[in-house]
Amino acid sequence: MYARSSDTAWVEFTFVSGHPALDLAATLTWRSSYPVELLAGPRDLSAWIEQAGLADVAGRVGDADVERTRELREAVYRTASADLLEQRPRAGDLRLISRTAAGEQVTPVLEGLGRAVWRGTVDQVLATVAHQACVLLGGPDHRRIRACADSQCTRLFVDHSRSGSRRWCDKLTCGGRANAAAYRRRRSQRGPGPGSVALPPG
């Protein structure tokens, strides 16, 4: 059972995965503990498309579009996670991603010097995301895919760091929580500082 964000309220999405397909995969959050569905309806999908920069203005979006987007999302997530889990990708997921990638992609419309508008239907947006997923998952960068080190976070990201040692999807959220927890542990292990006075109970 998934909790769902309200489709009547504006959702501000987070894009820290370093790749559009993995950012799409992150629209179902906290998968292993308390999953929250961020694509609760057409309004959410329109907002995600525009915030992701895949189209300046999303075309008409319906409930069926949301379902197809979720199907692609889950196929991408399972496939991107397979290597981390030492599993083989599902053949059905590979076919779905490839079939979606074969569609017409979002294209720019040149309206003047310095003015280009990206327009496309949901099908074109999904084809664009799936095409980029094929490039990532079918190329050498698939070995740079990481899972966030936060035990509750299930976001995947591409580690573009030179050392290949990035641990957190976002250093300000998951990384910040980990640093704060480590600080509290160190404080508790040190005990009261010099000159402190223990107060009697009660």
CA distance 167 to 70: 26
pLDDT at 198: 44
pLDDT in tens, 96-140: 999 999 999 999 999 999 999 999 999 999 999 999 999 999 999
pLDDT at 5: 62
Residue entry with tokens 């949901």: 122
The set of residues, in sequence order, having a beta carbon less than 8 Å from that of 177 and lying 6+ positions away, is 150
Below-70 pLDDT ranges, the chain: 1-10, 175-202
Q: Are the C-beta atoms of 7 and 40 separated by less than 8 Å? A: yes
* First-residue to last-residue Cα distance in the chain: 45
Give the phi and the psi of residue 51 in degrees, each rounded to 5. Answer: -70, -30
Characterise 112 by phi-psi region: left (phi > 0), alpha (psi -120 to 50), beta (else).
left
- List the domains of the chain with CATH numbers: 3-190 (1.10.3300.10)
CA distance 126 to 84: 25
**pTM of the complete model:** 0.83
pLDDT at 57: 82
pLDDT at 201: 40
Token couple for 71: 């199907």
pLDDT at 195: 53
pLDDT at 177: 63
Collapsed DSSP state (helix, strand, coil) of residue 36: strand
